[in-house]
Amino acid sequence: MNIIKVASKQDKKAFIELPLEIYKNEKNWIRPLDKDIDSVFNKNKNKAFRKGDVIRWVLEDKGRAIGRVAAFYIEKKVDKDDLKIGGCGFFECIDNQDAANLLFDKAKSWLTERGYNSMDGPINFGERDKWWGCLYKGFEIDPNYQQNYGKDYYPKLFENYGFQILFKQLTFFKKIKTPLSEKLKYKANRALKNPDYNFRMLEIKKIDKYILDFMKIYNEAWAKYPGVSALKLAQANSIFKQLKPIMDEKILWFAYEKDEPIGFFICIPEMNQIFKYVNGKLDLIGKIKTFYHLKIKKSCKKVIGLVFGIVPKHQGKGVDGALIMASSNTIQKELSYTDMELNWIPDFNTAMIKVATQVQATNEIKPAKIHHTYRYNFDRSIPVERIVKK
């Protein structure tokens, strides 16, 4: 087996196309857009290069590509054990522990040379909302846009090498027509009785106002969590610029106390349900197919709960329930979506898990998908401590 640093155009093509062989018999796998993978490693498109660096390798055996991995770091504070933590990601491999070990060893060696002594994986060279975590449960469900799929033996490859779970990411599934839980309805009614609370759909003609409201709520509700950075206006503008072509106003909801923004429930059409028809290529033909399936045939029947947040001052007052009820009622009565997934809920965020279980109309925690975020400390005497629940 031979590891090749990705440098040439041919190497990059091999890195992009390796999953075609890995998943050739997987009916649920959806090929990511080539441009989305390429942009992660493009200095002109990925802001992570401002404070970090990345490298990629392809593993070959007798001239055939059998694995790949990327290693990277983004400069940040060390953790409480004075560990400098890098990352590895975009891992794909045949079911062979020796092959996986070669890839992990290469990532570890590269990070060690740069003064790092721990690595998380499989993660993204960038924000957590994309390409993060090793799929552990949910292989029978289509992967969502820019979310990791995987083979059922991948957790074994990571854990046999020595990676340990840092936290889990949960995805909850709901049929749109199934009722919301009575507990959630009770919470919603509490908020709806408060005359100062009001709930509104996003209006594209006033999008600049909603971007500011989104940024304010996000920074109060989410920036306190580990690894989540405060959102700046340029970043918020960029997020909504990316969402605008697929935006459905009726599934983007905001909560206010009088005119003060206090919460949001942002859903979008699940674009992998459209992109599965383009085979990774968003060229002219791919764009025509995307427009046809999104706007004309309306092939997308799933919505993704992209992000949900309530500012701390208004948590526990039923605002979350009222937001979800308003959105759910609109989707059921006016739209053609049939499924909803609440995506990327970390197992340490107990408040969001409670919301998700209520949306499912069950009091049991039954995520449809589970991803593992692993950590590997190079000094094997230092234990990996799970991120605690909040």
Give residue limits of the domains in the chain: 2-167+372-377, 177-337
Q: Assess whether the region 2-167+372-377 and the region 177-337 belong to the same CATH fold.
A: yes
Segments of the chain with pLDDT less than 50:
none
What is the CATH topology of the domain spanning 177-337?
Aminopeptidase (3.40.630)
Residue 44, pLDDT score: 95
Residue 82, pLDDT score: 80
Strands (E), the chain: 2-5, 52-61, 64-74, 85-93, 118-121, 134-137, 164-175, 197-201, 252-257, 260-269, 302-310, 339-346, 369-377
34 Cβ neighbours under 8 A, 6+ residues apart: 16, 280, 281, 282
Q: Kindly report the CA angle at 150 between 73 and 106, in degrees rounded to 5?
A: 40
Q: What is the pTM of this model?
A: 0.87
Dig out the tokens for 373 from the structure: 């975020």
CB 317 within 8 A of CB 132: no
CB 311 within 8 A of CB 182: no
Question: Between the CA of residue 148 and those of 10, 43, 87, 143, 352, what are the distances in Å?
Answer: 24, 22, 15, 7, 21
CB 294 within 8 A of CB 246: yes
Neighbours of 17 (CB within 10 A): 14
CATH class of 2-167+372-377: alpha beta
122 upstream amide cis, omega within 30 of 0: yes
pLDDT in tens, 152-180: 999 999 999 999 999 999 999 888 888 88
pLDDT in tens, 31-71: 999 999 999 999 999 999 999 999 999 999 999 999 999 99
